[in-house]
Amino acid sequence: MKTLRTQVKIQFVIILLLVFYLGWREFVEENHPSGVKEASMDMESVEREGLEKVGTTKLPNYQAFIVPTPDEALFAGEKIRLLEPDLRERFDREIHVNANWHSNTILMIKRSHRWMSRISEVLKENNIPDDFKYIVAIESNFEESAMSHKNAVGFWQLLEGTAEQYGLEVNDEVDERRDPIKSTVAACKYLQDAYDKFGSWTSVAASYNVGMRGLERRLDEQKVDSYFDVLLNDETARYMFRVLAAKAILEDPGLYGFNIAESERYSQPAFDTVKVEKTISDLVDFAHEHGITYKTLKRYNPWLRSDELTVKKNTYEILISKDPVEQYVVQKLD
């Protein structure tokens, strides 16, 4: 009985509050007919202005970079005519991908500054055209430890068998595919062999993707003698044009909107070179003895795969950074 009376009282209070609210609303609308509507309109106006501000700050700042397609390109002294629709579209695709793939291309430009001049020197020493340095850009984006799903490794993405064929050491402790200079020397040997076979530097570059035998077989099957006349799988068909796009952007980054100051590009420190003729049982201790951390040691010597280095018949050269910021004093614990 008491519960029923309590519920009735609560319902009565709710009804009184509702009547009071409706009476207040009617009073406001009679005396200030535009008050509620104006408040509502003000809120809509604020929301609309906010949306407009978002729109005007975001949309005009995004502009896709449109690149005119030239009538011809040049690679290793060989002129490539881009008048055929297929060739124009293939170049057009790669230059636009790289010009608008900002994060990847910015890093490519920054990293290239660290190694391009040294790679050029090695190519020149081995009589290979300088334009082949752009293969490193598309193979590994100048990452020494890059690895593909096929286990190709390093700047030049060499498979283990190919690396050993051209004089590199690959084992549990050492992988010279990760050495930018030694791997470049090995790549030069391959490129010269390919040129001896094809007599065309553009065909040499294409064979770097599909292999000498692979390119030769496809040329023979289709009875043509040029990479630009043969039907290939998508990856190889894109390959030469990816090289040309990387060359165009790295030769003149500002032309494609990449205005990266010299100070913002990556650089190498000065090094001391330690010649290693005896086994090092602990590379951590070796690093500390030379005033750097193990991390810094591996950073500039990525070809070292283990924490020890066994010397049998080969000798090695280890780079020790002289950058004061990377010097390390070992704290000895009592």
More confident residue, 254 or 61: 254
Which residues, including other chains, have CB under 8 Å from residue 187's CB and lie 6 or more apart?
Answer: 132, 135, 155, 156, 158, 166
Choosing from 264, 293, 310, the residue where a domain stops is 264
What DSSP state is assigned to residue 224? -
One domain for residues 53 and 97: no
Q: Count the domains in the chain.
A: 3
Q: Is the pLDDT of residue 9 over 80?
A: no
Query: Which pLDDT score, from 0 to 100, does residue 61 have?
Result: 58
One domain for residues 188 and 222: yes
Within a domain: 65:
no
Domain range for 144 is: 72-264
* Mean of all residue pLDDT scores within the chain: 87
Q: Is the pLDDT of residue 206 over 90?
A: yes
One domain for residues 21 and 156: no
Query: Which pLDDT score, from 0 to 100, does residue 60 have?
Result: 54
Beta strand 78-81 with 72-75 is: antiparallel
Q: Is the pLDDT of residue 155 over 80?
A: yes
One domain for residues 17 and 153: no
Compute the distance between CA of residue 83 and CA of residue 230 in angstroms, rounded to an integer: 16
Compute the distance between CA of residue 170 and CA of residue 163 in angstroms, rounded to an integer: 8
One domain for residues 120 and 232: yes
**pLDDT tens digit sequence for 39-53:** 444 444 544 454 444
Within a domain: 67:
no
pLDDT band at residue 54 using 50, 70 and 90 as cut-offs: very low
Do 204 and 191 contact (CB within 8 A), yes or no? yes
One domain for residues 317 and 233: no
The number of beta carbons lying within 10 Å of the beta carbon of residue 157 is 23
Q: Does the predicted TM-score (pTM) go above 0.85?
A: no
Query: Which pLDDT score, from 0 to 100, does residue 45 have?
Result: 53
Q: Is the pLDDT of residue 248 over 80?
A: yes
One domain for residues 148 and 223: yes
What DSSP state is assigned to residue 309? B
One domain for residues 125 and 153: yes
